[in-house]
């Protein structure tokens, strides 16, 4: 996967996007869509780990189907 300019998309890029949404200083208008999300990390170049605040069955689908966070 790559950005429109051909630059490869890395796990760290995904982490940056979600952390920006969660950062209260950014004041993202879509932050409330990710209220179950506690943290996002990238243990390696191709893996993204989403840590949830609480168990929520539809969160996985929501994280991969919502386009607002740029994913």
Examine residue 67 and state whether it is found in any structural domain, yes or no: no
In a domain, 2, yes or no: no
For 39-54, write each residue's pLDDT tens digit: 999 999 899 998 988 8
What pTM did the predictor assign? 0.72
Instruction: Tell me, yes or no, whether 27 lies in a domain.
Output: yes
In a domain, 6, yes or no: no
Q: Is 71 a member of any domain?
A: no
Q: Tell me which residue range forms the domain holding 45.
A: 11-62
Q: Is residue 47 one of the residues assigned to a domain?
A: yes
- pLDDT category at 71 given cuts 50, 70, 90 is very low
For the chain, what is the domain count?
A: 1
Q: In angstroms, rounded to a whole number, what is the distance separating the alpha carbons of residues 5 and 68?
A: 20
State pLDDT tens for residues 51-68. 988 877 665 556 655 554
* CB distance 24 to 32 below 8 Å: no
Q: What are residue 37's DSSP bridge partners?
A: 52
- Domain membership of residue 40 (yes or no) is yes
């Amino acid at each position: 996967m790559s950005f429109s300019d051909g630059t490869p998309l890395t796990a760290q890029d995904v982490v940056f996007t979600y952390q920006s949404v969660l950062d209260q200083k950014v004041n993202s208008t879509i932050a409330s869509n990710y209220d179950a999300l506690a943290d996002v990390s990238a243990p390696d170049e191709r893996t993204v780990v989403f840590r949830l605040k609480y168990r929520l069955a539809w969160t996985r689908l929501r994280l991969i189907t919502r386009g607002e966070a740029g994913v």
